[in-house]
Amino acid sequence: MKFTFCFLALAVATLSAGEEKLWVAQPFTPEKSFTDGIEGPACDHQGNVYAVNFGADHTIGKVTPQGQGEVFVTLPGDSIGNGIRFNSQGLMFVADYQEHNVLRIDPQTKAVTVFAHGPKMSQPNDLAIAPDGTLYASDPDWEKGTGQIWRISTKGEVIPEADMGTVNGIEVSPDGHTLYANESTQRNVWAFDIALNGSLSNKRLIRKFPDFSFDGMRCDVEGNLYIARPDKGTVIKMTPQGEVLQEIDVLGKSPTNLCFGGPDGRTIYVTEADKRRLVSFRVDKPGLEWKRGW
């Protein structure tokens, strides 16, 4: 299979009908608000942004829509979070790479419980969630250059689904029929079919990139993928067929993950590890989770 690589200049500010600047990043929290392990992020119904390692490891920070941050919860024991997702009931799920868990947090009580434990996991990294609540966890083994995708049922059962390279960002399409996963070291973006029981099949390559790695990945309502590109310091917007539509400079060299939020779902928040802060930019279409009302 052949691919045509499209090298785009960083996106120039685009104006909507309301003269709103799109694709232009700006700081959302002060530098060094988080540790260099800043990851996550996810938004709740009120527009607050949650990201891990606020001020210190083992924490999850909560940042208001005005950019004011505080520690939301401190994780127990040796647990350290990475990817965060909310389900349709507003419960928070956190990939705990240190203890090989997926944690569940009740935002009302802040009670932290182990929802799923995978002793064979290397380090659960990012999470995706299907319309029925099924979770998928990316699990890279950085030393071996390999990885695994795990399916986690709504009862917390951990099921191996696909052998991978250093799998990182992971997302489910708007119709719930496709799972996307990228590999950081190999620089590939893959798609899988999702069966009615949640199992994966028909692995296929969407696009292979010649340079720079991948991290977190999210869909907008039209199914376009936004992917963080560490070392390059950008986030790309890419169609499900692999065409790069935009590339946004995120004001730091190490974007790790992203989520959609804001009152209309058109604000993207990016965790950036070099300056240890959140940055944000406006886009043309809302995020998938905002559309679902999660």
Is there a domain that residue 194 lies in? yes
Number of domains comprising the chain:
1
List the CATH number of the domain containing 101: 2.120.10.30
Is there a domain that residue 58 lies in? yes
Whether the Cβ atoms of residue 10 and residue 247 lie closer than 8 Å to each other: yes
| Cα distance between residue 278 and residue 26, in whole Å | 9
Is there a domain that residue 83 lies in? yes
Give every CB contact of residue 6 below 8 A, 6+ residues apart in sequence: 243, 244
CA distances from 271 to 14, 92, 165, 228, 276 (A): 23, 18, 23, 9, 8
Is there a domain that residue 43 lies in? yes
pLDDT averages per 10-residue partition of the chain, 294 residues? 36 51 98 98 95 98 97 98 96 97 98 97 97 97 97 98 98 98 98 98 98 98 98 97 98 98 96 98 94 69
Of the candidates 75, 115, 68, 43, the one whose C-alpha atom is nearest the C-alpha of residue 51 is 43
Give every CB contact of residue 229 below 8 A, 6+ residues apart in sequence: 212, 213, 214, 215, 235, 236, 255
Is there a domain that residue 81 lies in? yes
Is there a domain that residue 6 lies in? no
Give every CB contact of residue 7 below 8 A, 6+ residues apart in sequence: none
Whether the Cβ atoms of residue 58 and residue 75 lie closer than 8 Å to each other: yes
Q: How many CB atoms lie within 10 A of CB 246?
A: 20
Q: What integer pLDDT is reported at residue 294 of this predicted model? A: 54
Is there a domain that residue 61 lies in? yes
| Cα distance between residue 268 and residue 262, in whole Å | 8
Q: What integer pLDDT is reported at residue 51 of this predicted model? A: 98
Q: Tell me the residue range of the domain where 281 lies.
A: 14-292
Whether the Cβ atoms of residue 236 and residue 228 lie closer than 8 Å to each other: no
